[in-house]
Amino acid sequence: MQAIDDLDLKNLAVEVDDAGIATVSLNRPAKRNALDAATVEEMVALFSLMPRAGVRAVILRAEGPHFCAGLDLVEHHREDRSPAEFMHICLRWHEAFNKMEYGGVPIIAALKGAVVGGGLELASAAHVRVADASTYFALPEGQRGLFTGGGATIRVADLVGKARMIDMMLTGRVYQGEEAVAVGLCQYLVEDSEAKARDLARAAAENPPLSNFAICSAISHMQNMSALDAAYAEAVVAGIVNTQPASRGRLEAFANKTAARVRPE
């Protein structure tokens, strides 16, 4: 199997620590981490490999003050793409973001600055979003004479609802701070989003990988199913996960009263 170290990455940087936590950095700060076609190909390669590389959790962060400025508008302008060409570009975005959402490895996004357009589409493919005071969210596609092409109609609409997404796209509305948490664009608002994302990744990495696989793939798949099929799939997944050898010791610890109880902080 190809190793992560063997990937030829220029616009992404990856480090995996001894606990199996991968830090993936968007690494084009001079261009505000705008997603050009090459970066998306790097994402496809990396996130295709991640679930088979023993990675237990991912922190997705960015170099520079902005998380991601979305589609590389300069490249898009320069390439003067045909409809078919841009459709294929979008399909590669979907390939990359689907690998993230359905890959089974928890991805925690550490956000800051602009999380806009395709940058929000990228963030919404992560499983948990952590923002700081500098973070702001927008879908400026309407103002640019564009439309979303990286899954926002599915994932952003899922996070904030159809009406809010339409408002964001029509009017350029920007969300930040507590309001962004309240509408569902992020789950945490903290002083240091990277430190918090690291804590969350460490906590998630303590779970058995098979449990995390189910949490970070089955729930998304089940959202695409009828309730009847989702209930069936849930039972099948639970049949496998809830009888895994890795859970035996944890169940025994609960039974003999040595396991931590669930308490509010």
Check if the beta carbon of residue 212 is closer than 8 Å to that of residue 104: yes
CB of 121 to ligand 1HE, least distance (A): 6
Q: How distant, in Å, are the alpha carbons of 18, 63, 131, 155, 185 from that of 181?
A: 32, 23, 9, 16, 6
In angstroms, rounded to a whole number, what is the distance separating the alpha carbons of residues 238 and 5?
34
114 binds ligand 1HE (CB under 6 A): yes
Residues in 217-256 at the binding interface with ligand 1HE, rule: CB under 6 A: none
Catalytically annotated residues = 121, 141
CB of 104 to ligand 1HE, least distance (A): 24
In angstroms, rounded to a whole number, what is the distance separating the alpha carbons of residues 178 and 228?
36
Burial class from Cβ neighbours inside 10 Å (0-12, 13-18, 19+) for residue 168 reads buried
Q: Is 26 helix (H, G, I), strand (E, B) or coil?
A: strand
In angstroms, rounded to a whole number, what is the distance separating the alpha carbons of residues 58 and 53?
12
- Kindly tell me which residue out of 103, 104, 106, 140 binds ligand 1HE, with binding defined by CB under 6 A: 140
CB of 86 to ligand 1HE, least distance (A): 8
Look at strands 57-62 and 107-110 and give their pairing.
parallel
112 binds ligand 1HE (CB under 6 A): no
- Kindly tell me which residue out of 103, 104, 106, 149 binds ligand 1HE, with binding defined by CB under 6 A: 149
Look at residues 151, 57, 154 and name the one whose alpha carbon lies nearest to residue 104.
57
69 binds ligand 1HE (CB under 6 A): yes
Q: Which stretch binds ligand 1HE (CB under 6 A): 66-74, 95-103, 170-178, 233-241?
A: 66-74
Of the pair 114, 204, the CB lying nearest ligand 1HE is at 114
Q: How many residues lie near ligand 1HE (CB under 6 A)?
A: 23
- Kindly tell me which residue out of 96, 110, 115, 146 binds ligand 1HE, with binding defined by CB under 6 A: 146
CB of 30 to ligand 1HE, least distance (A): 6
- Kindly tell me which residue out of 104, 106, 117, 209 binds ligand 1HE, with binding defined by CB under 6 A: 117
240 phi/psi in degrees, rounded to 5: -80, -50
Structure tokens at 181: 């948490």
Of the pair 72, 209, the CB lying nearest ligand 1HE is at 72
150 binds ligand 1HE (CB under 6 A): yes
Look at strands 128-131 and 188-189 and give their pairing.
parallel
Tell me the per-residue interface mask from 74 to 93 with ligand 1HE, x by CB under 6 A, - otherwise. Answer: x---------------x--x
Structure tokens at 217: 């793939």
CB of 231 to ligand 1HE, least distance (A): 34
In angstroms, rounded to a whole number, what is the distance separating the alpha carbons of residues 55 and 207?
12
Report the interface residues with ligand 1HE, using CB under 6 A.
31-32, 34, 66, 69-74, 90, 93, 114, 116-118, 140-141, 144, 146, 148-150
